[in-house]
Amino acid sequence: MGAQAPLSRSPFCVYYCIVVYTIVVDADGLIKLGKSGALPALLGAARLLVPNAVWEEAVEEGKRRMYEDAQELEAALSEGDAEVVSHAIGEEAERLLEGSAASFGAGEREALAVYFAAEADAVLTDDRAFMGLLAGADPPVPALVPASAIVALAEGGRVSVDEAREALAKIEPAIRRSVYAAAMEDLETMQRARDGEQ
């Protein structure tokens, strides 16, 4: 696994510091983080692995459908040195997938394969069924949702608290209300703590 160093040493690190070095993305997590505007900050903080099937779904299919954000996603990933990778489904991933009642697409399947093959530190996703699969692994596969990634980037000083609020506002309609509310509350607490330090 990659070297693990927290972005900061404050109490928020217990919950939100991105202490991972290598993050594998699925299409849902990647698209939402791209829409938030926080993707470049994450690319600056961690090694991002984009499975080929995820690239195809999020970027190539998006461009074919003329989604404007697909072009922006492609540019951010290219400028941020994201690695587009491919790995066949290995034994660990296959065993986990076979034991699930849910059906997963090519992107999730390859994200899981890349996670195990690259010995990554976490998977960025906002797919509830996929998060359930990851949590059910033994040991559990760490999942990072876009809202938590944004809070972690603010905690680590990669974006300001105001920038994090703006990023969350951009994806508010696309994420669960409880996740949005918890992330905004954590940003408020973080801001109050920082204001108290000054």
68, 86 contact by CB (below 8 A): no
- Predicted local confidence at residue 4, as pLDDT: 38
pLDDT band, residue 146 (cuts 50/70/90)? very high
- Is residue 186 predicted with pLDDT exceeding 60? yes
Q: What is the reported pTM?
A: 0.87
- Is residue 197 predicted with pLDDT exceeding 90? no
Any idea what the Cα angle at residue 123 is, between residues 169 and 158, rounded to 5°? 50
Sheet holding 22-25, edge to edge: 83-85, 47-51, 22-25, 122-124, 143-144
Question: Which structural domain, as residue segments, surrounds residue 52?
Answer: 20-146
pLDDT band, residue 198 (cuts 50/70/90)? low
**How many domains are contained in the chain?**
1
Give the DSSP letter string of 17-68. ----SEEEE-HHHHHHHHHHT-HHHHHHHSEEEEEHHHHIIIIIHHHHTT-H
Q: Which residues are paired to 122 by β-bridges?
A: 23
Task: List the CATH number of the domain containing 36.
Answer: 3.40.50.1010
50 is a domain residue: yes
195 is a domain residue: no
Q: What is the mean predicted confidence (pLDDT) over 37-65?
A: 96
7 is a domain residue: no
69 is a domain residue: yes
Q: What is the mean predicted confidence (pLDDT) over 151-169?
A: 96
- Tokens 């969350």 sit on residue: 168
